[in-house]
Structure 1
Amino acid sequence: LSGYTQLARKRARLSIDVPGGLQEYLLVQHYRYIVNIDGLEDPQAAAPLACAGLTTYNAVKKIKPYVGSDEHVLVVGLGGLGAYAVQWVKALLPHANLLVADIRDEAIEFVSKLVKIDAAVNPAREDPVKAISEITRGEGVKAVIDLVGLSQTIGTYLKTLTTLGVYAMVGLMSYEATIPVPYIIRNEIKIFGVYTGSLGDQHEVIKHARKGLVNYVKVISKRYRFDEEEVNEAIKSVAGAKHLGRVIIIL
C-alpha cells in the first residue's frame, strides 16, 4: 500500500474512528500530516480541499489515463463534491468534453458559473441514457465519475459508457447495486472505487489551488458560525440537500 496513505491498515479517521470532528484543536500524530496552505487567500474556504477537493481530484487523476482528445467525461451529482469535480476535469483534462447530470436545475446552474459545461442532463425530466447518446452522437462517454452512488445511478450511467470506458465510484449513498453484467463484459468496462486521496494528492491539490486551477472560494455557498443554533442549522441544511456547493462552519 506504499503511497496510498488513505488506505493504511491502521488508521484513525476523525469523526468515524475517533471523536472530534467539530473540536477547535486537533492533535496531529506526525508533522508530515500538516499541509502548508500559505498562499491561499481564504483559509476558511480552503478547508473542504482536504475532503471534497481531495476526493474529486483523486477521481479525475484515476480516469485521466483513459480519456483521449475530444472524448466525453460525465460527472453525476453536482453537490459539494460535484462543484470541485467539474473544475478538476477542466483543469486536468482540458481536451475532453464535460457532461454533467443532476436532478436539480439549480445545481447545474451553480457549477455552470464555475466552469464551462459542454452539456447537461436532468434525469428527472428525460431519459439520461438516451439523452447522453444523442449528445455524444451515439459514441457514449469515456468516463463517468459517480458522486452519488445509488443503485439507480450506477445501473443507469454504466450504460452510458463507450467501449473500454471507465466508471469511478465515489458516492456512498447505497450499500449494493445491480449492474448490467453483459454490457460491462462485452465492452470491457473498468469499474474502480475512489476513497479520498493520498497525502501526496493533498499536496498537489493545494499546489493547484495556489495556481488558481480550482476556485475553492466560489464553491462555498454559506458560512455558519460555531454556535449551537447555527451548527444545527448547518447540519439540517446538509442533510436536506438545501444548499449548493459546500457550506462551512467558522470557529
Structure 2
Amino acid sequence: MAQTTPNHTQTVSGWAAHDSSGEITPFTFKRRHEITGIITKVGGNVRKFKIGDRVGVGCLAATCLKCEYCEESQENYCDQVQFTYNGIFWDGSITYGGYSKMLVADNRYVVRIPDNMAMDRAAPLLCAGITVYTPLKDNNLVDTKGKRIGIIGLGGLGHVAVKFGKAFGHHVTVISTSPSKEQEAKNNLGADDFILSTNPKQMQAKKRTLDFILDTVSAKHSLGNYLELLKVNGTLVIVGAPDKPIDLPAFPMIFGKRTVKGSMIGSIEETQEMMDLCGKHNILSDIEIITTDQINEGLDRLVKNDVRYRFVIDIAGQSSHL
C-alpha cells in the first residue's frame, strides 16, 4: 500500500537509529510525533496558517472527517484515525513522522505555538501535554481550583501534569517509587507533597486524602494501594499512549464509590486550547536537546531513567546527518 506521494513537492530525507561505529543496538524507534517548526509553504486552500508561522504537529495525521466524533471535534476517537508515524495517509503513503528536515501535514491537524513559548520545550506538549491535559479538563480540574490531586510517576508525562495542576490552582502530590524524586517534585516543580508508594506508613498516612489521581506510569502495576489514597467519590484516571491505548470499554470501574477511568490524547481543538493555556501560564516541558548522532546515547540514558524529562532532537543541529 505504501507508495511515493505524487502531490508532495519536496523530497524528505530520513535516517536510521545507528552511528558510525557499526555497533547494532536493540532499540525500536517508532514514535516521531512531537514536531515543531516554521511553515515554509502552504496549500492554496489553507486559510488558518501562513508562511513563517510557528506551529506544531502531534499524533494525528488523518481522520475520516465524516463520523460523529469528527463532526463534534473529537477526531481523536475516530475509528479511521491515522497517526503521524506508521499510519496510512489519504493517498496510501506511509506516514514517517518528524525525523526529517521537513514535514508535510494536513492543516486540520496543525496547532499554533504561542510566540512566548520556546519551540523545543513546546514540542513534547503536543503529545505528553495533551495526554495529561485532557483528563484534567474532563474531570473539571482546569476551571475549578482547590482540589487535592495526585500524580503517579514523575517522568515525561508526570512532570507536565504537576505543572498543570499547580497552574490551575490545586494542591499537588507526587506519588513515586523513587525516593530521589521527592526533591525534584518539590524543589524543581513546585509540588506540595510527596508520597513514596513503597513505604506502607506513608501510604497509610495519606489514605483518603486525594480527590483525583492521574496515573502516568506505563509499566504494569497494581492500582489497589493507589485507590486507597482517594476520598470517597474520588477518581483515578489511567492515561495511555495513542499507539497502545487503554482498553476503554473496561472503564469506568467503580470501587466503593471510587471511579477508575481510562484516557488517551485529546482532539486538535483541545490541543490548541492546551497550547494557548501553556502560553498564558508559561508552562513548558523540561527537556534536554540532542542531535541525531547522539540518539543511541540518548536511548541508553532513557533506559537508565537518566533524563529530565524529555529528549528533544534538534534535526537542524550542526551534528545532524540529514
Shorter-chain TM-score range:
0.7 to 0.9
Shift of 1:74: 0.7
Please state how far the C-alpha of 1:37 moved relative to its aligned partner: 1.4
Deviation at 1:52, TM superposition (A): 0.8
Distance 1:126 1:11, change over 3 A: same
- Indicate if the aligned counterparts of 2:215 and 2:236 stay in contact, CA closer than 8 A: yes
Residues 21-170 of structure 1: pairs in structure 2 closer than 5 A: 21-28=98-105, 30-64=106-140, 70-92=146-168, 94=169, 96-127=170-201, 129-133=203-207, 139-170=208-239
Which residue of the other structure, out of 299, 307, 313, is the alignment partner of 1:243?
307
User: How many aligned positions are there?
Assistant: 233
Question: How far apart in 2 are the matches of 1:97 and 1:67?
Answer: 14
Q: Distance in 2 between matches of 1:31 and 1:21?
A: 16
Identity of aligned residues (%): 22
Q: Which amino acid is the alignment partner of residue 102 of structure 2?
A: Y
**Larger strand share, 1 or 2:** 2
Alignment partner of 2:151: what SS?
Answer: strand
Conservation of the 8 A alpha-carbon contact between 1:143 and 1:167: yes
Q: CA deviation at 1:43?
A: 0.8
SS at match of 2:82: coil
Show structure 1 runs of 5+ residues with no match: 134-138, 177-182
Distance, in Å, in 2 between the alignment partners of 1:150 and 1:209 is 28
TM-score when normalising by structure 2 = 0.64
Structure having greater relative contact order (Cα 8 Å, sep ≥ 6): 1
More helix by percentage: 1
Larger mean CA deviation between 151-160 and 48-57 belongs to 151-160
Aligned residue number for residue 276 of structure 2 = 207
Distance 1:212 1:66, change over 3 A: closer
Tell me the residue number matched to 1:10. 80
Tell me: CA distance 1:150–1:184, structure 2 relative to 1, closer, same or farther (3 Å): farther
Residues in 2 aligned to 1:127 and 1:66: alpha-carbon distance in whole angstroms: 32
Name the amino acid aligned to 1:249.
I
State the shift of 1:128 in Å. 5.1
Pairing partner for 1:223 from 269, 276, 289:
289
